[in-house]
Structure 1
Amino acid sequence: MSVVDEQLHSAARAAAAGDRGSVEAAVDVLWPRVVRYCRARSAESAAHDACLAVARDLPRLARREHPLQEIYRVIRRVVAQGGHITAAAAEGPLQSLEPIAREIVTLRLIDGLSVPDTAGVLGLPVGRVLVVQHRALRTLHGQTG
């Protein structure tokens, strides 16, 4: 039996005996695992929906000068309509950033896009992307420091 199993077993027995504090202890153990599980499922669902939307839009995207920009626009629209991101984005350090800064940090650090690609996706000058990214990272660093 793992340490987590033992903690949950102990908390469950105490809760069954009427100890209200044990319920809180069980939630403390479970919370990070439940959040990770739910985030992963929401991300999978959002990715599936977004891929389907992009696949449906491929003929139109083929005619665009900047298809990557259009693909990200489709993905953002699908995610916003589906509400998949709201639970994951409702908390955490990125929420303190302005929406454009959050998008730049996500595209650069999570999606791994280059500065020029990020600028193309968002329709911004490269210099603006660099400045907003710099300020966003300073803000995030200040939160953790």
Structure 2
Amino acid sequence: MFTPSQHDVRRFFCETFRKTRENLVLTPLEIIASDWIRQHPEYDHDLADVEQALQANYSVDQGQTNPFLHLSMHLSIAEQISVDQPPGIKQAFQILARKHQSEHEAHHEIMECLGEMIWNSQRTGLPPDGQAYIESLKMRCS
């Protein structure tokens, strides 16, 4: 299994941003990433300079959103939905997209649940709990 480093992730998004702006050929994963980058123009400055991106520190304590984490979560959620893993996420996404009349807002709702699952896993040292993740999504769907 491939586990990219923080620098790998930042380089990937910066390179995708550059290739998109220069109308270069994108890989299938870059196409998906490019779509999310376009939906977040507030991150353009962060993506424009790879060296600056590699050095940046996004502190939650200072109220800073990490654009690379945010975009990575969009990619993860898109993949989860495409293969319906964990089972039920695709249906939850469809319900949330209708509820908000926005697939993007549905992603952000799912992102909250995904972040909570990851945080709980890190806090307890246990593997991520996919069932708790789906249960959290189901509560948001009602």
Same fold (TM over 0.5): no
Structure with bigger gyration radius: 1
Larger fraction in helix: 1
TM-score w.r.t. the length of structure 1 is 0.31
